[in-house]
């Protein structure tokens, strides 16, 4: 089956990982398309693989969201070897007993859905490291 990543910065190979656009001037990293570096104004970027394991530095458990968004879910930020990454915490119950500040998590893929052509979209999340 054909697969597409949910976002450009997710790479779906044998070992799925995230790739950032890294400023060649100051090393600042971005996940969205930028015209210039917001830190130093440099125009050139190179791609940099982001470590797939990190520490959960903050989270919330969302119980109310816009129509069509499934709740509850855990949204958080993961410090992946110095790069902050936004993502959901998955594969664990969404409650404060199972999700804690500072916990170790690792990247995993999450199915998003399949379109009319049979192409599967794949997203990412972070799951607890056992």
Site for Zn ion, rule CB under 5 A: 23, 25-26, 28, 37, 39-40, 42
| Radius of gyration for the alpha carbons in the chain, expressed in angstroms and rounded | 16
C-beta separation of 20 from 37 below 8 A: no
How far is Cα 42 from Cα 115, in angstroms, rounded to an integer? 39
Apex 82 CA angle, 23 and 73, nearest 5: 110
End-to-end alpha-carbon separation of the chain, Å? 30
Q: Which of 24, 47, 60, 91 binds another protein (CB under 8 A)?
A: 60
> Does the footprint of another protein cover residue 67 (CB under 8 A)?
yes
If contact means CB under 5 to 8 A according to the sort of partner, which of Zn ion, another protein, none does residue 126 touch?
none
Q: Which of 42, 62, 108, 128 binds another protein (CB under 8 A)?
A: 62
CB of 48 to another protein, least distance (A): 14
Question: Token match 């090393």: residue?
Answer: 27
How far is Cα 70 from Cα 67, in angstroms, rounded to an integer? 8
> Does the footprint of another protein cover residue 53 (CB under 8 A)?
no
Q: Which residues of the shown chain bind another protein in the complex (CB under 8 A)?
A: 4-9, 28-34, 38-39, 57-71, 73, 75-77, 83-88, 96, 101-102, 110, 112-113, 115-117, 119, 121, 123-124
């Amino acid at each position: 089956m054909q697969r597409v990543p949910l976002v450009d910065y997710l790479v779906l190979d044998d070992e799925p990982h995230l790739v950032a656009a890294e400023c060649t001037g100051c090393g600042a990293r971005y996940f969205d398309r930028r015209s210039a570096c917001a830190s130093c104004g440099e125009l050139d970027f190179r791609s940099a693989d982001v470590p797939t394991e990190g520490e959960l530095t903050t989270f919330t458990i969302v119980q109310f969201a816009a129509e069509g968004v499934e709740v509850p879910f855990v949204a958080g930020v993961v410090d992946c070897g110095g790069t902050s990454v936004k993502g959901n915490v998955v594969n664990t119950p969404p409650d404060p007993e199972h999700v804690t500040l500072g916990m170790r998590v690792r990247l995993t893929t999450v199915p998003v859905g399949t379109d009319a052509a049979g192409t599967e979209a794949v997203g990412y999340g972070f799951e607890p490291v056992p």
